[in-house]
Structure 1
């Protein structure tokens, strides 16, 4: 029996197969989508046939929709005898065995999901010996190296998003290895995307500038390596894996610390988090030649907590290398003027969403200076707010070919992509809970086509995501963090000199009683009072 024919029998029961609360939101956004034919399209986008058949609760509902004769055929294929109550038999089936699942999926003409086999490159590869720098990057490189060569061998490189922090820092790494017969670099990053980005960037840099074969060691996620054997080259390490390993076996990091490594901390505003600071301190033995370089576009922990920002500054010896361009009050303005960054237009979208924080949520805001997930989820469930987001997303798609949307929750990201797709737009949702098609959706978004596309996401594309054609961002996730806001805006600000766009458009949804930001130009100087700048 065709799966679509089975769903057609559900009619008004389609709402029961939708995720909780989704039908109500879909109806509020577009009443036409409530009709069974349209609702079926939204359902299949949110929950494809394989998902509906895999989940016990939706599978049970579907099996009860089968006509008697079709139910008997399926039951017979599964081993039922003629005397068995057909529907009761199907209800008892757990479909845990592969053979039973194959019969079920084949009966409805649905492909049986295959477990994705991850093909990982080797954890250890030999990189054998073009990788130029813009003038402002080369000046920053020289000043960073001067500070790292002098006590206390610490510095932070402060460059705006899109200005080439990673490339500049990788030249520091290459020069560190070139000046030594043997040297070890440890590059720390908090996400797998940032780790892979660093590994790829080092490969390009060393092939162009290296003087000998050196190992590149991947040390995050599923990658394993014995760090005690590393005497030369670079270790790109995920912070999550490093924290876990340090708690159970500190011998590996002790061995690396004996090499007097250069430690590079990506997204350095996180460096003073207690667990991360423990790792860095373990790698940097006192009174040695070990060095620490931090990288950040936003060298502060918060928006308005000077004490936390002061702690971060002191951790890097209050030495920050920042860009200072003659004739420009702000390096961001220079980078826009020279085409490294796109010229942004910032627009605030005021909403009528009413949200109040309970005592526990207020306490968490004071402790973390970030909105709790419970607040974000309440905003994401607001029908009028979601309708406003859909409206502005569709308007952006009329003006831009590539749009990125930052949703307030995983569920909202999925729902927005499903609704926009049902309304004939190319849309995909990327979250930490995305299925195996995540990489394919990102690749399709990056393809060189004229079709307007929107990528909805929650929590995974703020860093380590590079799609230069993206020229618009819709920020529907409220945040009190200038760091996070700057990272979201940066996804759309790649300029023509760096393969991006001359102009970009940033729409920010601002909710009552929750402060919002509307520019990152001034944000670059937000933390200047707690640092001693080395202008370049």
Structure 2
């Protein structure tokens, strides 16, 4: 059987209390890796009638069903894509496309409808979700409708519900979901070790510049993305070389891009025997085989175009490379979430974001001379040749300890960067963003677990030949360091 985590039990209890008083549709906000399948399992177990669990893609249907049955529970599947159309089980996991076309005999006796990735549900009456809900309510007007999502905010729409669980109004506009009855944060999951800590690596000078893109409704126009990438295509080899270097001791790498052409270009720079690509037109059986090989670690690099942001579960993924513009925080969280699940031996997940501003960046930044030349040509870049490097232990306004590193040139001018040193995630971030580049003897093992450790071992670190910074608001942000 299964054991609910404390927050999962709270989610279940909140659902029960709410539907005892109301039949208005409600939302549970559970981030990736929160174990929503356990919440679904418990709600289905205690439900007096039948339970229908809907998702928008077959991968998510299969994933939710598989996890449900792994708890020793029986359930059916109604999905043409999975070649199953079970009708009699108490719990049915279905794809919205197949259920919307089903006959009336499927719709009998459901007391609870659960919609996964429910931020896709709108108030429009001609959608498949609206049609299914209408048919269910004709048979059972007291139907409970529960949505699950990790991203309750949609670009172009705003909040997908009207009130949160504290009674605060999120929007005065009409929404299908009336209330969020429980909201679990990603930070809580990471702090309590339910998810792997992400480590975002500072983006290098070699990055794509998508600043010219303008949203068209809720997304960027593909033709405009293609135009930007075409103008900057010589940046790609340097970016992929950096990903391969960062992935040397990583188990699984997911690379996110926006277009098929860009994905194909990326594939030419990856080791062919360890890499595969999944796009919208990839045949179903071929996609399944690629995903299977990736999960079995026969492939290391998986390039995808807008198809694996949800409904994909490969816990060993420990490096996420973002090479596409993200239209919203929700999409960014979905992408990053692919790498946050726990797995044996997994300590963290590197997040490499190559979508920073790099105006006019059209050269392949593969050696020091080119890096310097490119940086010097940028209007908002500052290139320093440091004479010395100074370490200090300082504190932010909240009293958190950090290491402040200052790079001084011959004129006494300086650039600086900060590294927090308060937990294992901070120590690993310090390693990736500073130590691995600055060690005089790269293969030397150095144990850094506090700001004081850094100060005591500062002589182990070398001064870079050049420090490259970019203007960010009112200060200079260090983006690249070049060593002899």
Measured against the shorter chain, the TM-score band is 0.5 to 0.7
In the alignment, which residue of structure 2 is the partner of 1:201? 67
Structure 1's 166 and 316: CA in aligned 2 closer, same or farther, altered over 3 A? same
TM-score relative to the length of structure 2 = 0.63
- CA–CA separation in structure 2 for the residues paired with 1:150 and 1:470: 42
- Structure of greater Rg: 1
- CA–CA separation in structure 2 for the residues paired with 1:397 and 1:189: 33
Query: Aligned to 1:398, what secondary structure does the other structure show?
Result: coil
Per-residue CA deviation, residues 169-227 of structure 1 (Å, 9 max, x unaligned), is 22212221xxx3xx32221111110011122123234x25xxxxx6613223263648x
When you count strand as a share of all residues, which structure comes out higher? 2
Structure 1's 280 and 388: CA in aligned 2 closer, same or farther, altered over 3 A? farther
TM-score relative to the length of structure 1 = 0.57
Say whether the 8 Å CA contact 2:251–2:317 is kept in structure 1. Answer: yes
Query: 1:430, CA displacement in angstroms?
Result: 1.7
- CA–CA separation in structure 1 for the residues paired with 2:128 and 2:43: 22
Q: How many residues get paired?
A: 344
Structure 1's 195 and 220: CA in aligned 2 closer, same or farther, altered over 3 A? farther
Per-residue CA deviation, residues 297-327 of structure 1 (Å, 9 max, x unaligned), is 111222784589748984222233123xxxx
- CA–CA separation in structure 2 for the residues paired with 1:242 and 1:175: 24
| 1:315 counterpart = 2:176 | yes
Query: 1:495, CA displacement in angstroms?
Result: 2.9
Structure 1's 280 and 191: CA in aligned 2 closer, same or farther, altered over 3 A? same
Q: RCO (CA 8 Å, sep 6+): is it higher in 1 or 2?
A: 1
Say whether the 8 Å CA contact 1:155–1:292 is kept in structure 2. Answer: yes
When you count helix as a share of all residues, which structure comes out higher? 1
Say whether the 8 Å CA contact 2:123–2:176 is kept in structure 1. Answer: no
Match of 2:347 among 480, 484, 502: 502
Say whether the 8 Å CA contact 1:188–1:237 is kept in structure 2. Answer: yes
In the alignment, which residue of structure 2 is the partner of 1:84? none
Say whether the 8 Å CA contact 1:379–1:385 is kept in structure 2. Answer: no
| 1:428 counterpart = 2:276 | yes
Match of 1:186 among 28, 37, 52: 52
Query: Aligned to 1:505, what secondary structure does the other structure show?
Result: strand
Structure 1's 442 and 224: CA in aligned 2 closer, same or farther, altered over 3 A? closer
Structure 1's 384 and 448: CA in aligned 2 closer, same or farther, altered over 3 A? closer
* Matches for 1:372-387 after TM superposition, within 5 Å: 372-381=221-230, 382-387=232-237
Structure 1's 384 and 311: CA in aligned 2 closer, same or farther, altered over 3 A? farther
In the alignment, which residue of structure 1 is the partner of 2:80? 220
Say whether the 8 Å CA contact 1:148–1:154 is kept in structure 2. Answer: no
Say whether the 8 Å CA contact 1:189–1:266 is kept in structure 2. Answer: yes
Say whether the 8 Å CA contact 1:493–1:500 is kept in structure 2. Answer: no
- CA–CA separation in structure 1 for the residues paired with 2:173 and 2:89: 30
Query: 1:240, CA displacement in angstroms?
Result: 2.8
- The unaligned stretches of length 5 or more in structure 2 are 162-169, 360-484
Query: 1:257, CA displacement in angstroms?
Result: 5.0
Say whether the 8 Å CA contact 2:116–2:149 is kept in structure 1. Answer: yes
* Matches for 1:62-461 after TM superposition, within 5 Å: 130-176=1-47, 180=48, 183-205=49-71, 207-208=72-73, 216-221=76-81, 223=83, 225=85, 230=87, 232-243=89-100, 245=101, 252=103, 257=107, 259-272=109-122, 274=124, 275-285=127-137, 288-302=141-155, 305=158, 310=171, 314-323=175-184, 331-347=185-201, 349=203, 351=207, 353=209, 356=212, 365-367=215-217, 369-381=218-230, 382-421=232-271, 426-435=274-283, 436-447=285-296, 453-461=300-308
